Amino acid sequence: MDPPEEAYPHVILFVVNEKSGNGRGKKAWQAAESILRERGTPYAAITATSPADAILQAKSKIEREPVQALVAVGGDGTVHSLLPLAVEYRLPLGLIPSGSGNDTALAFGIPKDPAAALDIVLGGSTRPSDLLAARQPDGSLHYSLISVAIGLDGAVAEDVNGSRYKRWCNRLGIGSAAYIIGLFRMLAAFKPQPLTVTVDGRTHVFQKGWLTAVANLATYGGGLKICPDAKPSDGLLHVCVVHGCSALQLLSVFPTVLSGKHVGSKFVTMLKGTDVSVEAPVPLLAYGDGEPAGHTPVRASVLPRQLLIFASASG
């Protein structure tokens, strides 16, 4: 017979993606676990082989033990996989970053050093964050924390996820370069098409649309400032549409995304609101936080302050 729940200490559940950042996840967890043992901090840990495995294992652990918080040891994709559980069980979410992009860490002031990131979790200071909920025509719902990328962005994310060059970029410590490589690869194959973007009931039509990024955080792709005015808890979704240009002109705009100056380009339209839908004549891939999220038509809504993130006080 199992002892009563009170017999178990409340624990922090660490979900470890050992393969994140080409093996940095495993090293980060070894460093963090050593500190947890030294301090005698109650914790539980699972090693996930995929997002689906992370959800399955974590859900089982949460339903059997008194878990007080979730912590992703990995990158933005690992955080993304835990969003449904954090929402369902109302658990604060922490991060020990070891991925290739680490845009979540950037937004919330979480350092890359595992010991310093763990200190933030154990310190218990949290910040509320909005969530992005994208609904598909079949009714399925995808939560994202960073963004939903549609069109060329979605094609780039798919190419990067299945590539060898991503692993090489991680080995060299330049994970964000994988997005740039993917962009050049996909420019040769992607065909722009008309986009209909509706924000809070107002419809905008772009005849030669390359991409639509619906963002909750300012950066994606490893620090690219796609929606520089976006803040995690401003109650808004920020939308960047790139349109009306040739592939060569798009390439001339791309470097300015590093600083956020692309917002002034005639080929870029910035929008914001609480409810966004994106449609196209031919279904376009959608990726949420770099993970598959279906295809157009996509309707995204903001869920204000629905998530608590362990964050630096200055983040």
Residue where one domain finishes, among candidates 124, 158, 190:
124
Per-residue pLDDT tens digits for 105-139: 999 999 999 999 999 999 999 999 999 999 887 88
Of the listed ranges 43-57, 118-132, 174-188, 292-306, the one predicted with least confidence: 174-188
Band (pLDDT 50/70/90 cuts) for residue 19 is: confident
The pLDDT, as a whole number, for residue 166 is: 67
197 and 295, same structural domain?
A: yes
Number of domains in the chain: 2
Which has more confidence, 48 or 129?
A: 129
137 and 112, same structural domain?
A: no
115 and 250, same structural domain?
A: no
Band (pLDDT 50/70/90 cuts) for residue 171 is: low
298 and 149, same structural domain?
A: yes
| Residue 160: pLDDT over 90 | no
Q: What is the mean pLDDT of residues 24-45?
A: 95
Contacting residues for 183 by C-beta, under 8 A, at least 6 apart = 152, 156, 254
Residue where one domain finishes, among candidates 106, 124, 142:
124
139 and 47, same structural domain?
A: no
Residue where one domain finishes, among candidates 78, 99, 124:
124
The pLDDT, as a whole number, for residue 156 is: 84
Q: What is the mean pLDDT of residues 48-76?
A: 91
The pLDDT, as a whole number, for residue 172 is: 58
Q: Is 50 within the bounds of a domain?
A: yes
Cα(298)–Cα(277) distance, integer angstroms? 6
Q: Is 106 within the bounds of a domain?
A: yes
| Residue 290: pLDDT over 90 | no
For 61, other C-beta atoms within 10 Å of its C-beta total 18
The pLDDT, as a whole number, for residue 183 is: 83
140 and 114, same structural domain?
A: no
Q: Is 314 within the bounds of a domain?
A: no
288 and 238, same structural domain?
A: yes
145 and 13, same structural domain?
A: no
Domain at 200, CATH number = 2.60.200.40
139 and 120, same structural domain?
A: no
Q: Is 30 within the bounds of a domain?
A: yes
Q: What percent of the chain has pLDDT over 70?
A: 91
116 and 148, same structural domain?
A: no
| Residue 169: pLDDT over 80 | no
Residue 283: asked if its preceding bond is cis (omega within 30°), the reply is: no
Domain, as residue range, for 18? 5-124
Q: What is the mean pLDDT of residues 231-247?
A: 97
